[in-house]
């Protein structure tokens, strides 16, 4: 079994990879708990901001030359209003926070360290920016009794806690997307998890 290669890419160098990241998002987010019915054209427009937003980066996981996973991040001040809103309402300085967006990895490559690597690489990237002291990400909130929940599904909460993240109950945002089988987009609530980022050692 070959080791996966992780590479952090920024700026215009991201553009050749955006179609791969779009493909991965569509494939992985079809799974529970997102059930996202994705569209390639929308995905590439959405992802294009990572090539232009100051401080943005995508960590790519490769098996040989094939992209099999991706993980995004950018300063919260560069994110959209939906993600910023709960922080503004709670009185946060947006300049302190780096937002970790999606992490997507094809199922056959899970359990090989990429998930940990995504966090390590994004945290290292975030620490390069003056004033950043917190990493944040959000995850969709689902009813555990939802009949669509797969048997044996294990949430990632324990994994996130091992990485040092804790839930922030007062920070919840709303995003809309079209679920599989739905005719139109519907709103979904996502809860935030936070981690303090100590400065890099001198």
201: its two tokens: 């050692």
- Give me the domain span that covers residue 188: 5-196
With respect to residue 170, please indicate whether it lies within any of the assigned structural domains.
yes
Q: Are 34 and 153 in contact (CB under 8 A)?
A: no
Q: What is the mean pLDDT of the chain?
A: 95
With respect to residue 191, please indicate whether it lies within any of the assigned structural domains.
yes
Domain with 170 in it: what CATH number? 3.40.630.30
Burial environment of residue 119 by CB neighbours within 10 A (0 to 12, 13 to 18, 19 or more): buried
- State the Cα–Cα distance between residues 197 and 132, nearest whole angstrom: 8
pLDDT of residue 41: 81
With respect to residue 202, please indicate whether it lies within any of the assigned structural domains.
no
- State the Cα–Cα distance between residues 18 and 60, nearest whole angstrom: 10
191: its two tokens: 């809860």
With respect to residue 34, please indicate whether it lies within any of the assigned structural domains.
yes
Of 131, 121, 122, the closest CA to residue 92 belongs to 131
pLDDT (tens digit per residue) in 101-151: 999 999 999 999 999 999 999 999 999 999 999 999 999 999 999 999 999
pLDDT of residue 200: 64
Residue that the structure tokens 């030359």 belong to: 65
With respect to residue 48, please indicate whether it lies within any of the assigned structural domains.
yes
With respect to residue 201, please indicate whether it lies within any of the assigned structural domains.
no
Mean pLDDT by 10-residue block, N- to C-terminus, for the chain (202 residues)? 89 95 96 94 89 97 96 98 98 98 96 96 96 97 95 95 97 96 96 90 45
- State the Cα–Cα distance between residues 58 and 70, nearest whole angstrom: 7
pLDDT of residue 1: 61
Domains identified in the chain, total number: 1
pLDDT of residue 202: 41
């Amino acid at each position: 079994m070959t080791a996966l290669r992780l590479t952090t890419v920024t700026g215009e160098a991201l553009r050749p990879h955006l179609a791969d990241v779009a493909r991965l998002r569509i494939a992985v987010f079809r799974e529970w708990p997102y059930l996202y019915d994705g569209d390639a054209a929308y995905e590439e427009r959405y992802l294009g901001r990572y090539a232009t937003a100051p401080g943005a980066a995508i960590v790519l996981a490769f098996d040989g030359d094939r992209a099999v996973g991706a993980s995004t991040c950018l300063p919260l001040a560069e994110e959209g209003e939906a993600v910023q809103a709960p922080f503004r309402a709670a009185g946060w300085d947006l300049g302190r926070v780096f937002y970790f967006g999606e992490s997507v990895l094809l199922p056959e490559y899970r359990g090989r360290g990429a998930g940990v690597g995504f966090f390590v690489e994004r945290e290292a990237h975030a620490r390069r920016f003056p004033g950043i002291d917190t990493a944040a990400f959000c995850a969709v909130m689902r009813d555990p009794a939802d009949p669509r929940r797969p048997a044996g599904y294990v949430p990632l909460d324990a994994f996130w806690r091992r990485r040092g993240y804790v839930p922030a109950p007062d920070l919840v945002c709303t995003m809309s997307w079209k679920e599989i089988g739905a005719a139109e987009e519907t709103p979904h609530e996502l809860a935030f998890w936070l981690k303090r980022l100590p400065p890099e050692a001198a």
